[in-house]
Amino acid sequence: MNDLQLSKTKRAIRAVLMWVGVVVLVGCQSRPAAEVHYYLLQPSVNDLPREFVEVANIELPAYLKSSSVMLGVSDNEIRPAQYHLWSEPMEEGMRRVLEAELVSRLKYVDREVVPMKIDLKVELFHATASGRVILKGVWRIRGDDAQRSAFSIQMGIGEGGYPAAVRAHVSALASLTDEIAKSL
């Protein structure tokens, strides 16, 4: 082989190695798409009729109108989870849980007092980086003697990441229904 052929061969080998290197680098940089998880707020009881309890109005802050599960990372910063989403609007899930849980606690209530309509104004409802779910706001029972009460509930999340946080959201709502039922 003469010097010219050897030089061309070396250049060809370098070009092939460069392309192999580029392909390897591009392959290392690309990641598989992250899996998205969807969550529902589910009551602990579902089989009771709800005709005598209605959560008529739920007012939510703007950050709870997002489909992302929210995480409070400091006293004044909330971040949406990128791959952990609510599968329905927060208002619908809250209404379903609150109505079912209230019916289960009020099943022996005097039917002359009902139907009962409850309004809820939520100020905070999210998981925290310190492992708690915070639920804060005001509830009111509609009527002539409109009963109104502020609430602030914190539930521990425990181990289990976002699924455990969703269960703690439901527990916080169940705790709120305990407060409402005890006040009647």
Contact call for residues 127 and 165 (beta carbons, < 8 A): yes
| Same domain for 52 and 20 | no
| Same domain for 7 and 73 | no
| Same domain for 18 and 86 | no
| Same domain for 103 and 70 | yes
Span 49-63, mean pLDDT? 85
| Same domain for 12 and 58 | no
Q: Is cis: bond before 115, omega within 30 of 0?
A: yes
Question: pTM for the complete prediction?
Answer: 0.78
Q: What is the DSSP string of 59-92?
A: E--GGGGSSEEEEEEETTEEEEEEEEEESS-HHH
Q: What is the C-alpha to C-alpha distance for residues 152 and 91, in angstroms, rounded to an integer?
A: 18
How would residue 75 be classed by pLDDT, with cut points 50, 70 and 90?
confident
Q: Give the domain range for residue 2.
A: 1-30
| Same domain for 45 and 23 | no
Note the pLDDT tens digit of each residue in 30-43. 667 789 999 999 99
| Same domain for 98 and 13 | no
| Same domain for 15 and 49 | no
